[in-house]
Every structure is written in C-alpha cells, then in structure tokens.
Amino acid sequence: MSTDRTPGLRPVREAGMAEWPAIGELTTEVYGALAPSSPPPSWTEYLTSIAVTLTQPDQARRLVVDLDGRIAASVLLCPPSSGPTGRLENPYPELRLLAVRSDYRRRGLAGLLIEACEQRARQDGYDAITLHTTSLMPTAKAMYERRGYLRAPGLDFEPGPGFVVWGYRRPLA
Ligand SMILES: CC(C)(COP(=O)(O)OP(=O)(O)OC[C@H]1O[C@@H](n2cnc3c(N)ncnc32)[C@H](O)[C@@H]1OP(=O)(O)O)[C@@H](O)C(=O)NCCC(=O)NCCS
C-alpha cells in the first residue's frame, strides 16, 4: 500500500455515527455527478437511497480517509447479505458506495480503501470479497479488474429494464 502520492495522508479509519450524514452527502454528490444525460429510471431513486443506506444503523462499517481536516473518501463494508426469504444471497462481504471527492482523485485513496476492506474481510475469515459496478463507472470497473476482481454473473441484478448492475468477486489468498 503506497501513500507516497499524498504526503500527510492519515490511515484508513472507521467513521463514527456522528459522521454518517457527512458521508451520505459526500457519496450522494459523487454519485450524482455520474448520472448520464439519460439516466436509467431507477437512478433518482438510487441517489435517494444512498443517503438513507449510509445514515441508517446497520451491520456495515463505514471506512474513510481524511485529508485537509475533512473526509476525502469513503466506502461501506457490508457483511454477507440475506434475501427477503432469509436465504443467504451473497455469502461474502461486499464493498459498496466507494466515493472519492473529485478534488482528491488520482492520489491512491480508492486503492487504500479497497485494500482496507480486503484486509478486514480476510481478518473476519472470508476467502473472497464482492462488489457491484455498472457501465456508468468505467474508471472503477477497470480499477477493480486490474486488482483481481472477477465477474460473478450470479450476483448481477437489473434495477431497471436493460440496466444491468454487474457483480464481481475477488478471491482473498
Ligand atoms: C473510481 C474512483 C473511486 C477512483 O478513486 P481514486 O482515489 O481517484 O483512485 P486511485 O487514485 O486509488 O487510483 C486507482 C486506480 O485507478 C486509476 N485511475 C483513477 N482515476 C482514473 C482516471 N480518471 N482515468 C484512468 N485511470 C484512473 C489509477 O491510475 C489507479 O490505477 P492502478 O489501480 O493501476 O494503481 C473515483 O474516481 C470516484 O469516486 N469515482 C466516482 C464514483 C465511483 O465510480 N465509485 C465506484 C463505484 S463501483
């Protein structure tokens, strides 16, 4: 893990509950800027759901990186998830809602957060970690693939007609 690109970078830490609204704002702003000229019908609802997801108490950990005295990047590390029937739909932890403020990009912050999630998943005894991405996030998709994330079509879902959210899994050695 290299922090050379950003002198003074503090280690990844877990955010406290009082910081969750700020993380919600950061993430909504970052994902709002990703909307294409003709976003899928579910996109507005998706943006609304982001703030709710990030501010409601749950089992997920909210990991952040600070720079210049504020949160510059964040990610949600979720435990394995159950479907509506209680059946385990994804038996692995999932990294979600990775967001880096636009003025702090290309400094390795996303890499730090991804590695922190992988390290925690390993420590929790899992041999793989998962995530989802879409065609609206080509930089992230390429970054995950370079980091060893493999397509896992069994995790795909389609929130709107013709708009597929792609599942990925990375084995943790
Ligand atoms: C994608 C995103 C998280 C990357 O954050 P970042 O802190 O700039 O990424 P890093 O500096 O850690 O770089 C990670 C890798 O992506 C590459 N990269 C980052 N931005 C890039 C860009 N605009 N174009 C090409 N490559 C880019 C880096 O070179 C680096 O490559 P490496 O893995 O070979 O080292 C950030 O651009 C972002 O928040 N985008 C919008 C939200 C998003 O897409 N989230 C992911 C949802 S699945």
- Could you give the domains of the chain? 13-171 (3.40.630.30)
* Encoded tokens for 122: 């390993």
CB 24, CB 31: distance < 8 Å: no
* pTM for this prediction: 0.92
- Give the containing element (helix H, strand E) for 70: strand 70-78
CB 100, CB 73: distance < 8 Å: yes
Closest CA to ligand 1's atom 42: 99
For a ligand 1 pocket test, name from 131, 143, 168 the mutation site with the most ligand atoms within 8 angstroms of its C-beta. Answer: 143
**What is the spatial distance between Cα 96 and Cα 14, in angstroms, rounded to a whole number?**
15
Q: Which segments within 91-127 are labelled E, that is strand?
A: 94-100
- What is the residue-level pLDDT of the chain in tens, covering all 173 positions? 444 567 667 789 999 999 999 999 999 999 989 887 666 666 778 888 899 999 999 999 999 999 999 999 999 999 998 766 666 689 999 999 999 999 999 999 999 999 999 999 999 999 999 999 998 899 999 999 999 999 999 999 887 778 889 999 999 98
